[in-house]
Structure 1
Amino acid sequence: MGWFPCSGNSNKAEKKKQSKKPNDQIPSDKLKVNSDSDIKKVGGSDHIAAYTFTFRELAAAAKNFRADCLLGEGGFGRVYKGRLESTSQVVAIKQLDRNGLQGNREFLVEVLMLSLLHHPNLVNLIGYCADGDQRLLVYEYMPLGSLEDHLHDLPPDKKRLDWNTRMKIAAGAAKGLEYLHDKANPPVIYRDLKCSNILLDEDYHPKLSDFGLAKLGPVGDKTHVSTRVMGTYGYCAPEYAMTGQLTLKSDVYSFGVVLLEIITGRKAIDNLKSAGEHNLVAWARPLFKDRRKFSQMADPTLQGQYPVRGLYQALAIAAMCVQEQPNMRPVIADVVTALSYLASQKYEPSSRSASSTPRARREQWPAN
């Protein structure tokens, strides 16, 4: 949920973002919001699918935002678990920081994006509140929290993700990104893909969340959009961090980092690791070149319970995604195809141990 600039350099102020109309078609419009009526002016009251809540309704749902209802906290504000009195539906309520410099912009972008883009792998926005200076977003409640909650800093008694579940989550997250890149018109660049923004329902079905940093992608003969460098350190594509030039391949890089986290169990940035291992991608790149070290990249909590062929293929996908040159990275549709196949190949640890899995065929690996 949190964000911060990936580098100290910034380009000129962002061009004003655009709202959406049905059929995922996005016309040009302004992105200034001071009240609920401004949201309706931008999207058109007939076009906003989200429900409008009063602040009183949401305060009652979250028990006046008590500490025991707090689910998490990020750069934009806090998220609470609540129950709507009108429907008894359990929801997640994000209360944006009223002192945030960009709160209005991110709030409006998220309302418009999630109101008008719908996919099984995108979180469902139920409604919003824009009473006075209050900005709140109401989402479907995802009972298993984020992917980050299941990969990093786990307590001893918490269940570890098995290989099949990891591949299911990776494939589902890629499908959500594919929808943004290939189905929306113009395409949407997510810009903040990371484990904490991938939420899980009770069946470990993943959904992308937090669209406040999303940008409309390039159209026509344009190759990129220029914007201030925003996102989360460790996930930003190198060319975007250095130049502010944002492309669909920037998201593919971020997805590659997430996939590496899923495979290795390591964090994108971990300053508690020894020198040379702080940055996940920097640690992984030399290992990509030596097949004998692939098993060292598997999450130790898997305890060897994974298919060797599947591990190699998943690492191959991740390696392609985190290529330094964006034109060397695959399009997300190809990533979906590859990961959907891996997710369909169910690994049965009871009948087949990792050590007895047939040796994987030699893959073509990128140089970097």
Structure 2
Amino acid sequence: MFIKYMGFCCSKQTSSSQRQYPTVIEELCHQFSLSDIRKSTNDFNEKQIIGSDDLCIVYKGSFQYNGVTECIVAVKRMKGNTEEKLRQFKNEIEMLCQLRHPNLITLLGFCNDKDEKIIVYEYMANGTLHHHLYHSDAKKVPLTWKQRLKICIGAARGLHYLHTGAKRIIFHRDITPYKILLDSNMVAKLVDFRISLKGPHYASKPKPKTISKDGFIVLLEVVCKDKLKIVENRQRQPVEENIDPSLKGKIAAECWEVFMDITERCLKFDPNERPAMGEVEVQLELALSLQEKADIRNTCEDYTLLSLTTLN
């Protein structure tokens, strides 16, 4: 059931107080008042901004309960009020209020007050994967190979849930490093469901391949960063020639073989030749397991060598 059929408040003249009964969305998702939002962001103070683009501005906000407990949140304020933006605003709320998974962003509520369209999410302390890959900071250590694998696994788990965990298949349609956020424990969570679509019921046959070639170019970006360069040169140069310098010499051969095999299959031109997301998840987990075993083996070998050197 879509929001437009559920009495969702879209009119500037209509307020939630004027409706006799709550909508389904309002029953599933908390509706904040604009005054609540203003208070949480210090009246949309510029110092609270943690991200922005052509579509929205994201603020770091906080809510107090009983004057004591503070809940840190991310407040996304839509720019403009066109019909297309309103449709996307409603679509995101409809999608997220019905989805629950550790690797999907948690929707906390929304505000639909005249010209203000605002969505409130859990706060993700470590920002976007894009920031960690492309914005070097001398004070920050680059993501390790195992961290990158775990992030890919988290994203794959989130997508697997979208493809198989609900009554209908959900197509995210825009997976990029910008759309993968990291919490305080570096757990990956998918965000931005503005243009996501509902597909057929998962139980229907035949089941479509639900992996996007463009979406899982992300697998290449976590090792090479320069997406355009690796896509253009993929047929002429091995990926190893464009690998992130911080990763060179730190990836076990057996892990790399599994990782590149599943990556290459995700990028097949024919959608029917691409693996289902469940297989992607399993293969990435295998790659991580092989890397961890190699690290343990290398540590033991280094310890043995050190012990022999000390004895001599």
TM-score by length of 2: 0.83
Pick one of 194, 198, 208 that aligns with 1:216: 198
The equivalent of 1:281 in structure 2 is 231
The equivalent of 2:309 in structure 1 is none
Contact 2:30 2:108 in 1 (8 A): yes
Shift of residue 208, structure 1, vs aligned partner: 0.3
SS of 2:259's partner is helix
Contact 2:223 2:247 in 1 (8 A): no
Q: Does structure 1 residue 259 correspond to structure 2 residue 242? A: no
Shift of residue 100, structure 1, vs aligned partner: 4.3
Pick one of 52, 60, 63 that aligns with 2:42: 63
The equivalent of 1:19 in structure 2 is 2
Q: Does structure 1 residue 147 correspond to structure 2 residue 92? A: no
**1:82/1:123 Cα in 2 relative to 1: closer, same or farther (>3 Å)?**
same
Identity of aligned residues (%): 28
Q: Does structure 1 residue 43 correspond to structure 2 residue 15? A: no
Contact 1:142 1:199 in 2 (8 A): yes
One-letter identity of the residue aligned with 2:217: V
CA distance in 2, matches of 1:340, 1:172: 10
Contact 1:281 1:322 in 2 (8 A): no
Contact 1:166 1:262 in 2 (8 A): yes
Contact 1:128 1:137 in 2 (8 A): yes
Q: Does structure 1 residue 330 correspond to structure 2 residue 275? A: yes
CA distance in 2, matches of 1:84, 1:138: 11
SS of 1:296's partner is helix
Q: Does structure 1 residue 171 correspond to structure 2 residue 171? A: no
Q: Does structure 1 residue 123 correspond to structure 2 residue 123? A: no
SS of 2:168's partner is coil
CA distance in 2, matches of 1:36, 1:128: 14
The equivalent of 1:194 in structure 2 is 176
What's the CA shift string for 1:64-89, capped at 9, x where partnerless? 11221111112320101011133510
One-letter identity of the residue aligned with 2:58: V
Higher alpha-carbon deviation: 142-151 or 51-60: 51-60
**1:308/1:130 Cα in 2 relative to 1: closer, same or farther (>3 Å)?**
same
CA distance in 1, matches of 2:63, 2:133: 31
**1:168/1:106 Cα in 2 relative to 1: closer, same or farther (>3 Å)?**
same
The equivalent of 1:352 in structure 2 is 298
Contact 2:181 2:190 in 1 (8 A): yes
Contact 1:146 1:195 in 2 (8 A): yes
**1:90/1:118 Cα in 2 relative to 1: closer, same or farther (>3 Å)?**
same
SS of 1:93's partner is strand
Q: Does structure 1 residue 82 correspond to structure 2 residue 61? A: yes
What's the CA shift string for 1:143-176, capped at 9, x where partnerless? 0001001101313332201011011000110000
The equivalent of 1:321 in structure 2 is 266
Contact 1:62 1:81 in 2 (8 A): yes
Contact 1:305 1:349 in 2 (8 A): no
**1:109/1:41 Cα in 2 relative to 1: closer, same or farther (>3 Å)?**
farther
Contact 1:285 1:319 in 2 (8 A): no
One-letter identity of the residue aligned with 1:329: R
- CA-atom RMSD in angstroms: 2.8
Q: Which structure is higher in strand share? A: 2
What's the CA shift string for 1:279-327, capped at 9, x where partnerless? x42322444xxxxx35324321224211122122212111111111111
One-letter identity of the residue aligned with 1:252: S
- Following TM superposition, where does structure 1 have runs of at least 4 consecutive aligned residues deviating by more than 6 angstroms? 28-32
What's the CA shift string for 1:335-368, capped at 9, x where partnerless? 0111122223344669739xx9xxxxxxxxxxxx
SS of 2:269's partner is coil
CA distance in 2, matches of 1:134, 1:248: 38
SS of 1:161's partner is coil
Higher alpha-carbon deviation: 100-109 or 73-82: 100-109
**1:316/1:97 Cα in 2 relative to 1: closer, same or farther (>3 Å)?**
same
**1:313/1:110 Cα in 2 relative to 1: closer, same or farther (>3 Å)?**
same
CA distance in 1, matches of 2:10, 2:81: 15
Shift of residue 248, structure 1, vs aligned partner: 4.9
Shift of residue 139, structure 1, vs aligned partner: 0.5
Shift of residue 44, structure 1, vs aligned partner: 5.2
One-letter identity of the residue aligned with 1:33: C
TM-score by length of 1: 0.71
**1:83/1:93 Cα in 2 relative to 1: closer, same or farther (>3 Å)?**
same
SS of 2:103's partner is coil
The equivalent of 1:359 in structure 2 is none
CA distance in 1, matches of 2:83, 2:136: 33
Shift of residue 31, structure 1, vs aligned partner: 7.9
The equivalent of 2:284 in structure 1 is 339
One-letter identity of the residue aligned with 1:258: V
Higher relative contact order (CA 8 A, sep 6+): 1
